[in-house]
Amino acid sequence: MLNLDRATQRRETMLDRLAVLGLESEILRAVDGRALGAADLPPGTEPGLSPGEIGCYLSHVNSWETVIQRQLPYAIVLEDDVILSANLMNVVEEITALGMPFDAVRLSALFPVRGIPVASLSGNMRLVLTTKPPSGAQGYLVSLDGAKRLRARLGVPKQPIDVALDRYWKYGLCIPVLFPPVVEEDSLLESTIVGRIRDKYRETVIRRISHIAEKKCRKIAAFFIARRLRKYGLLNSR
């Protein structure tokens, strides 16, 4: 679980929620973007990102580093402002048993999950390769090989972390989304990230054309990734 040292109430709340489900969690110290200077940032960091966005991004990168250093086959990465479904671990165990070569599986989504189903799970759940950004990085399952690829391809904060995950197809990553989600953002908790780069976004003709082109490329890329995954025969009519 990613948690800032100063966010003690969030830490206590999350530990209580995990305990209710009988789950143990290791707290990974989140990066406080406000404490970073220009010299502390990886070369190529997007200057328009807010300190909170940079800290959040680097916190996730550090979690991938932890998975790699400890050679963990799989790990669940959680932010500290989430509500967990009681069947979280059952779903995760079912996903890992599929044998699907994923880099990560997003267990949360802020927006409706739209895309191509690639695997069926019990309880009418499915793994979906999204063709529209689901947004959010509140919780996801990451594999060891996936952590290595995420670090190699997304190691520098060039965009908010959830936008980077939304653009999985651009980086040759396989990151389906679980639907329905088993991790949800706690809307009662105020975000620790202020001054988001998307708040400064201004639509222009060039950006609009680029956005349309990206949408088409995303759909094509998702189609080919889905076709490869369907060879595993994991999708049925359940």
Give Dmax over CA atoms of the chain in angstroms.
Answer: 53
Q: Are 157 and 85 in contact (CB under 8 A)?
A: no
| CA 65/CA 153 separation, integer angstroms | 13
Does the structure show a pLDDT above 70 at 237? no
Tens of pLDDT, residues 115-128: 999 999 999 999 99
Burial class (CB in 10 A: 0-12, 13-18, 19+), 213: exposed
3-state secondary structure of 97: coil
What pLDDT is attached to residue 189? 81
The rounded mean pLDDT for the chain is: 93
What pLDDT is attached to residue 47? 94
What pLDDT is attached to residue 209? 83
State the pLDDT confidence band at 81, using cuts at 50, 70 and 90: very high
The continuous run of DSSP H or E covering 151 comes out as helix 144-154
Lowest mean per-residue pLDDT among 63-67, 120-124, 200-204: 200-204
Does the structure show a pLDDT above 80 at 143? yes
State the pLDDT confidence band at 203, using cuts at 50, 70 and 90: low
How large is the average pLDDT for residues 97-118? 96
Tens of pLDDT, residues 22-48: 998 999 999 999 999 999 999 999 999
Does the structure show a pLDDT above 60 at 194? no
Which tokens belong to 172?
């040759």
Does the structure show a pLDDT above 90 at 200? no
| CA 168/CA 123 separation, integer angstroms | 26
3-state secondary structure of 120: strand
CATH number of the domain at 2-232, out of 3.30.1490, 3.40.50, 3.40.720, 3.90.550? 3.90.550
Does the structure show a pLDDT above 90 at 68? yes
Instruction: Please list, in sequence order, all residues whose beta carbon lies within 8 angstroms of the beta carbon of residue 210, skipping any fewer than 6 positions away.
Output: none
| Cis upstream peptide for 73 (omega within 30°) | no
What pLDDT is attached to residue 238? 41
Strands 28-29 and 2-3: parallel
